[in-house]
């Protein structure tokens, strides 16, 4: 952590400040259960404004930035996050929100929910990007990769998986990845760093090799229900999960994670996290050159449809129907009336020349949809 902060300080003062926020809460979580008084008092001092916490049983804790306890209810809340199953955390900043208030609130909420139950698994850690890149490299000597693993606090003899994370343009995917993985409470050692335009998460389970895809989907759903100042924090986030490999082959899992990421779809809850193991033979589509995919008649038809008025909704209806196999379930997933979805699918059938009720044609349509997404870089 210290090495990463020094690197960031020389590159981007804002990035270093944000990492210090994360390091603060990771330190609180490292000792297990987090006392509500300690959490709120330290957050108020970090934010330099009053902070508060309401627990599920109705108890309320408030502190000023100088560490003095505040009585009663807050007069002005500048930002808040609801806790699950009940409660909330908030800041009481006068005037405009601070640049890191959303980050502070999210980590305060994580500490309140996770630390309040007593933490039995380690918190994900932001890592030195140079060490993570070394672990992921297939060109470096195994001895050098093993040394990097040890410096990261990972075991060179235990299998690991790599998770690739892509976020909104302008956002730091590394910070988004650390926050999301913190919600998962994975029984694993997790190290995260920004690598190019993506974040790479090294996930080394303490026992077993289960994929973190399921917990990641649950964490994405949880975040989607929490509206923070400035909008949805999970919007634009996509994840790809690589296979379980020996640490010396981490580069192979990283390659698989990036392939899986190409199948993940922004804004579609069921498809925001793609698992390479679950893709199976579908992953082979990623090896086909984009130009060849675009030349396939079904893909061309989808491309033409996407450019028409309402084309995006028609493709969303196709994806939902292929995923569920049911008109009503597709309509429920899209929050539309089933007759509207039926009309959209009728237009898709006309464009493709296939009958979606026919299992073979539906399979062809689903493959064409995957190929179209891959060919457009989505």
Burial of 75: CB neighbours in 10 Å, binned 0-12, 13-18, 19+: exposed
Tell me, yes or no, if the two domains 125-286 and 288-376 fold the same way: no
CATH topology classification for 125-286 = Alpha-Beta Plaits (3.30.70)
Can you list the positions of beta strands (E) in the chain?
51-54, 60-63, 79-82, 88-91, 125-126, 161-166, 188-195, 198-205, 227-228, 231-232, 238-241, 273-275
What's the mean pLDDT in 193-198?
89
CATH superfamily to which 288-376 belongs: PucR C-terminal helix-turn-helix domain (1.10.10.2840)
Whether 183 has a pLDDT exceeding 90, the answer reads no
Confidence of residue 89 (pLDDT cuts 50, 70, 90): very high
Number of H helices, E strands in the chain: 16, 12
Query: Could you tell me which of 143, 145, 163 has the C-alpha nearest to residue 154?
Result: 145
**4 CB-near residues (< 8 Å, 6+ apart):** 19, 126, 127, 128, 129, 193
Q: What percent of the chain has pLDDT over 90?
A: 46
* Residue-averaged pLDDT of the chain: 84
pLDDT of residue 200: 95
The label of the residue with tokens 């069921």 reads 270
Average pLDDT score over residue span 155-181: 83
User: Strand, helix or coil at 199?
Assistant: strand
All structural domains of the chain with their residue ranges: 2-115, 125-286, 288-376
pLDDT for 318: 93
Q: How far apart, in Å, do the first and last CA atoms of the chain sit?
A: 33
The rounded distance, in Å, linking the Cα atoms of 327 and 272 is 21
pLDDT at 118 over 70: no
pTM, two decimal places: 0.73
* pLDDT single digits (tens) 243-296: 999 999 999 999 999 999 999 988 777 889 999 999 999 999 999 999 999 999
């Amino acid at each position: 952590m210290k090495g990463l902060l020094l690197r960031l300080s020389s590159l981007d003062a804002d990035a270093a400040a944000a990492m210090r926020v994360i390091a603060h809460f990771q330190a609180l979580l490292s000792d297990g259960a987090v006392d509500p008084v300690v959490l709120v008092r330290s957050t108020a001092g970090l934010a330099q404004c009053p902070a508060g916490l309401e627990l599920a049983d109705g108890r309320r804790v408030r502190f000023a930035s100088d560490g003095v306890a505040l009585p009663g209810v807050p007069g002005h809340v500048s930002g808040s996050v609801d806790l699950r199953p009940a409660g909330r955390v908030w800041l009481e900043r006068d005037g405009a929100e601070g640049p890191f208030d959303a980050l502070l609130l999210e980590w305060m909420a994580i500490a309140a929910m996770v630390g309040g139950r007593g933490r039995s698994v380690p918190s994900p850690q932001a890592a030195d990007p140079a060490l993570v890149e070394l672990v992921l490299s297939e060109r470096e000597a195994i001895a050098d990769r093993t040394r990097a693993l040890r410096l990261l606090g990972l075991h060179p003899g235990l299998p690991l998986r790599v998770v690739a994370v892509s976020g909104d343009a302008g956002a730091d995917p590394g910070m988004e990845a650390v926050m999301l993985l913190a919600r998962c409470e994975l029984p694993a050692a997790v190290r995260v760093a920004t690598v190019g335009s993506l974040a790479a998460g090294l996930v080394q389970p303490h026992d077993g090799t289960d994929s973190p895809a399921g917990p990641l989907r649950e964490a994405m759903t949880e975040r989607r229900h929490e509206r923070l100042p400035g909008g949805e924090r999970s919007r634009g986030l996509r994840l790809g999960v690589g296979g379980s490999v020996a640490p010396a082959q981490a580069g192979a899992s990283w390659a698989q994670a990036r392939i899986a990421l190409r199948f993940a779809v922004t804004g579609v809850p069921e498809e925001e996290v793609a698992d390479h193991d679950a893709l199976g033979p579908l992953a082979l589509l990623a090896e086909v050159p984009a130009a060849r995919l675009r030349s396939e008649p079904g893909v061309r038809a989808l491309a033409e449809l996407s450019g028409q008025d309402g084309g995006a909704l028609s493709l969303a209806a196709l994806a939902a129907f292929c995923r569920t196999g049911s008109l009503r379930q597709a309509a429920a997933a899209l929050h539309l009336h089933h007759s509207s979805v039926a009309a959209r699918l009728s237009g898709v059938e006309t464009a493709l020349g296939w009958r979606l009720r026919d299992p073979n044609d539906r399979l062809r349509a689903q493959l064409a949809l995957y190929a179209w997404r891959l060919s457009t870089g989505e």
